[in-house]
């Protein structure tokens, strides 16, 4: 019969996430992970296949946490505005301004396993899908069409900029301006297309 673990995995993973989030993959050593988790290196290797797996599981934990932070009860353009405002809030409320660990890890991707690289890619795709879903809702609400690919890319870029610039310590007002500007651009796009569609229909009736 296997001997039960004498530590709480949830606590270990949160401390592991915090360590990687603050220092990154390469700069976080096994001795440091041992210190923050309170586990000896041998216990860490017994519980995980290695540092890459610890990093991947930490990122999975972050992704689960982030998905809960995003508004799930606001649709369309209002949902986009709420999501970008949430990103600003999460960024400025972090006293250490650590940014997003999944974005921070891009520069270290070559040192990660293929499985962990796929997780990073999936995380970025999740964010793009979130914005695309809200855009599709906005399109249906406006009963018009729009270039969703360009708008999706714009909104994703705004989210990335907020996290990266926030990590660099730029003032909250600028981060909010980025969010507001991206939201305004999306709203303007749909309003313009709706006016064009209405005008076209009016001409056809004549």
Q: What is the 3-state secondary structure (H, E, C) of the chain?
A: CCCCCCCCHHHHHHHHHHHHHHHCCCCCCHHHHHHHHCCCHHHHHHHCCCHHHHHHHHHHHHHHHHHHHCCCCCCHHHHHHHHHHHHHHHHHHCCCCCCCHHHHHHHHHHHCCHHHHHHHHHHHHHHHHHHHHHHHHHHHHHCCCCCHHHHHHHHHHHHHHHHHHHHCCCCHHHHHHHHHHHHHHHHHHHHHHHHHHHHHHHHHHC
pLDDT tens-digit readout, 28-45: 999 999 999 999 999 898
CA distance linking residue 126 with residue 67, whole number of Å:
9
Provide the 10 A C-beta neighbour count for residue 87.
Answer: 25
CA distance 106 to 110: 8
Q: Does residue 124 carry a pLDDT above 90?
A: yes
Mean pLDDT of 35-59: 93
Spatial neighbors of 121 by CB under 8 A, at least 6 apart, are: none
CA dist 141 and 200 (Å) reads 19
* Residue 53, C-beta contacts closer than 8 angstroms, at least 6 positions apart: none
Average pLDDT, the chain: 90
**Number of Cβ within a 10 Å radius of residue 39:** 21
Confidence of residue 142 (pLDDT cuts 50, 70, 90): confident
pLDDT over 70 for what percent of the chain? 89
Confidence of residue 196 (pLDDT cuts 50, 70, 90): very low
Structural domain spans, the chain: 1-69, 72-206
CATH number of the domain located at residue range(s) 1-69 in this protein: 1.10.10.60
From the candidate CATH numbers 1.10.357.10, 3.90.1150.10, 1.10.390.10, 3.50.50.60, the one assigned to the domain spanning 72-206:
1.10.357.10
Is the pLDDT score of 206 beyond 70? no
- Given a cut of 80, whether residue 52 has pLDDT beyond it is yes
- Record the pTM: 0.86
pLDDT of residue 5: 52
| Residue 168 pLDDT class (50, 70, 90 cuts) | very high
**pLDDT tens digits along 73-123:** 999 999 999 999 999 999 999 999 999 999 999 999 999 999 999 999 999
């Amino acid at each position: 019969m296997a001997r039960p673990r004498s530590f709480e995995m949830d606590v270990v993973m949160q401390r592991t996430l915090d360590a990687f989030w603050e220092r990154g993959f390469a700069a976080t050593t096994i001795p440091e992970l041992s210190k923050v988790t309170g586990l000896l290196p041998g216990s860490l290797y017994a519980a995980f296949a290695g540092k890459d797996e610890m990093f991947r599981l930490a990122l999975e934990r972050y992704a689960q946490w982030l998905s809960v932070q995003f508004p799930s009860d606001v649709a369309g353009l209002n949902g986009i505005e709420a999501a970008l405002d949430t990103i600003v809030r999460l960024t400025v409320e972090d006293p250490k301004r650590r940014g997003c660990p999944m974005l921070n890890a891009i520069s270290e991707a070559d040192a990660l396993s293929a499985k962990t690289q796929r997780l990073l890619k999936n995380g970025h795709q999740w964010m793009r899908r979130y914005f695309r879903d809200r855009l599709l809702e906005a399109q249906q609400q406006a009963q018009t069409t729009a270039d969703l690919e360009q708008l999706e890319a714009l909104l994703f870029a705004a989210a990335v900029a907020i996290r990266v610039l926030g990590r660099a310590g730029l003032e909250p007002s600028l981060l909010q301006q980025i969010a507001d500007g991206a939201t305004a651009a999306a709203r303007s796009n749909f309003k313009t297309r709706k006016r064009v569609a209405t005008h076209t229909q009016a001409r056809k009736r004549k």
